[in-house]
Structure 1
Amino acid sequence: GMTETEIPFALLSTLAPKVYEAFSASTYGQASSGWMTDDEVDVLLRGEGTEKLYVIEVSKKEAGKETDVDLYYTEGGVLVKEIIDADDNQDYDEYLPQKPAGNIEAWLKQKFTAYTVVEIENEDGRTEVEVIAKGRKHEVLFDASQNWLSVKTDLYAMDANNAEWVPANIVEALQKESYEVSNIKEIERYEVNKSGNEYVYFCFEMRSGRDEVDVYVDETGIISRPSVGGEGVTVEGGITEFLAQKYPGAVVVDKDYDDGYLEIDIRHDNIIKEVKFNGRNEWIKTTWELRYAALPEAIRQTLTKEGYQQADVDDIEVTENASGVLYEVEIEKGHIEKTLIIDAQGVIKQQY
């Protein structure tokens, strides 16, 4: 089914040059980053039609805490997974080769012609197939009857200049709203089965000062986040149970690995919330944006005492973790820009 081989990291540049080049160009591969590589690289050789994977483990110690990250590369140098603090007893069982069944295989062949499988997941009757085609990673979702639901394709920032992946009118719509192509960090392309018709939209992750923002664009221009294209996305059982208990009635609308964490986007109380888990599926935190009117009364009173009115509030983000809930309130008043970190009782914990 699969052979796991350990090779010295020192030989990676010789045995898998594209993997080595991709790793060296990443943040983890920079000498100044402080990340240290393990001496060994795990190589997963699998059956025909599946991707050969190289797993590089890196670690970094900051403030007395060590963080481990597992990086999964294809032989062509495509980073398909980045997992923080994975299970130490990883045996790669989930990467045993699987073959797409029936209509799923036929659909994939028609869509991509040539592809290799990275992983297949089956949860709640749905099937998610992760494939590599044309040097890009595609996550394809099918329902219980093997009908196609959606495709999410991970693109590089440079693909904004490649009409094969991102049409020129999409980039123009982005630029009309004063977003610079040079500030694109990542791009996700979504193709969705919407009532039998294909609907395509893009998510651009943009650098904006110290922050990053997601900008959604379709053929009509800048849009709010669509409510299609992932409603009911499947996630692992343990995470499903956690979400059902923590956020009753929530619907999973998207999932991805971002900066090493499993990032689950849910629609809860008509709000999109971003829930992050580490490689052991342990909950790290949840963040979401909030309107001023939805702020707890204690926080609004604090803002008033500090001399700020609703018109001065530029943005509000809520962060919830095991320690509690904090509100990050961005203020713009005259020439002053300030960020206040406030707890649920209205106490300012930090400001800058």
Structure 2
Amino acid sequence: MKTTLVTTLILLTTTLAFSSCKDNGYTPPKNVVSAFKVKYPSAKRVEWEVKNTYQVAEFHIGFTEAEAWFDNNGQWVMTESNVKYSSLPVVIRNSFESGEYGKWKVEDVDKLERSGMETIYIIEAELGEQEVALHYLENGTLVKTLMDNDGRGYQPESAPQAVLQFIQQKYPQANIVEIDQDKGLLKIDIIDQQIMKEVVFNHQNQWVVTTWEVPHNNVPANVMNVLKTSSYANYRIDDIDYEERADGSLVYIFEVKQGNREFDVTIDANHLKIISATPQN
């Protein structure tokens, strides 16, 4: 019991000391401070703390509150700043107001700038007890919707160098939008020549598949003919995805519906045949 109590006190003391760096006038290494001053020369009321090994500065520029993250080498990685809704790009406001959540009450708006990635604007809105966080590109494209947003802070995102090199080689004009881990897979959203694509890698950082949505009129006639001459010819097409797979296959996935029956019909574009038809629950 005594050992446990002493250990607990030590852990508590350490935690308090770590979390109170900012309150105690913590100052990061000189190279970090210098990098911050170069990037934000007009910053006022600067306070520093350590978050997950990053050196983080909370500061003001005019009436804007912001938080900038640097690594220990003085490299800037991310800045999160508060934005007034009225100051958002018009295309983002139009996209929000004409969208599914346009009638919801806007609670907060953040601008997220990250090294090597697209700038994201996040609108947090609520309706009653429901909450949502909507992630937009600067051109107004909605790239992510998170329900029941819990107000968590945003963390710097990174991917293995091998993954970044692959994307640069395969999609040289692309910019990274989001990086996510999901069930052992690394999923990276990119915008490539104005098209949003999801590039998926396995746990060994090997490319698995790239998927993106395509409009009806971009599907080759011979592929569309496979669907039209199948048992799904009279089904309504809701969505169409295109996949480039690591095994070299190219497929179109049609989400089709007839009454209460829904299927994902996958057509091999090379061999012009249906390879699967998966019912949707």
Q: TM-score, normalised by structure 1?
A: 0.42
Query: Aligned in 2, Cα 1:175/1:240: closer, same or farther, shift over 3 Å?
Result: closer
- Counterpart mapping for 1:81-120 below 5 A: 100=32, 102-104=34-36, 107=40, 110=44, 113-118=47-52
Q: Does 1:268 align with 2:200?
A: no
Matching residue of 2:140: 223
Higher relative contact order (CA 8 A, sep 6+): 1
Q: Does 1:283 align with 2:210?
A: no
- Read off the aligned partner of 2:212 and give its amino acid letter: W
Q: Does 1:306 align with 2:227?
A: no
Determine if contact 2:159/2:179 at 8 Å carries over to the other structure: no
Identity within the alignment, %: 22
Query: Aligned in 2, Cα 1:287/1:49: closer, same or farther, shift over 3 Å?
Result: farther
- Counterpart mapping for 1:248-267 below 5 A: 249-259=172-182, 261-267=185-191
Matching residue of 1:201: 121
Query: Which structure would you say has the larger Rg?
Result: 2
1:64-115 deviations in whole A, cap 9, x for unaligned?
A: xxxxxxxxxxxxxxxxxxxxxxxxxxxxxxxxx9963523267497587343
Instruction: Give the RMSD, CA atoms, in angstroms.
Output: 5.5
Measure how far apart 1:339 and its partner are.
2.3
Determine if contact 1:292/1:316 at 8 Å carries over to the other structure: yes
Q: 2:220 and 2:102 mapped to 1: Cα distance?
A: 36
1:10-50 deviations in whole A, cap 9, x for unaligned?
A: x99x968xx9xxxxxxxxxxxxxxxxxxxxxxxxxx9x979
Q: 2:142 and 2:169 mapped to 1: Cα distance?
A: 25
Q: SS in structure 2 opposite 1:238? A: helix
Q: 1:288 and 1:98 mapped to 2: Cα distance?
A: 45
Measure how far apart 1:190 and its partner are.
3.0
Measure how far apart 1:291 and its partner are.
1.4
Determine if contact 1:292/1:310 at 8 Å carries over to the other structure: no
- Read off the aligned partner of 1:116 and give its amino acid letter: V
Query: Aligned in 2, Cα 1:176/1:238: closer, same or farther, shift over 3 Å?
Result: closer
Determine if contact 2:120/2:135 at 8 Å carries over to the other structure: no
Q: 1:218 and 1:251 mapped to 2: Cα distance?
A: 14
- Read off the aligned partner of 2:221 and give its amino acid letter: E
Could you tell me which runs of 5 or more consecutive residues in structure 1 were left unpaired when the two chains were aligned: 1-10, 20-45, 51-96, 121-128, 154-163, 194-198, 205-213, 227-232
- Counterpart mapping for 1:1-352 below 5 A: 100=32, 102-104=34-36, 107=40, 110=44, 113-118=47-52, 131=56, 151=79, 177-179=99-101, 189-191=110-112, 201-202=121-122, 216=135, 223-225=140-142, 237-247=161-171, 249-259=172-182, 261-306=185-230, 312-323=236-247, 324-333=249-258, 336-344=261-269, 345=271, 346-352=273-279
Measure how far apart 1:295 and its partner are.
1.9
Q: TM-score, normalised by structure 2?
A: 0.51
1:232-262 deviations in whole A, cap 9, x for unaligned?
A: x996543343224333x33223242332544
Q: 1:269 and 1:257 mapped to 2: Cα distance?
A: 21
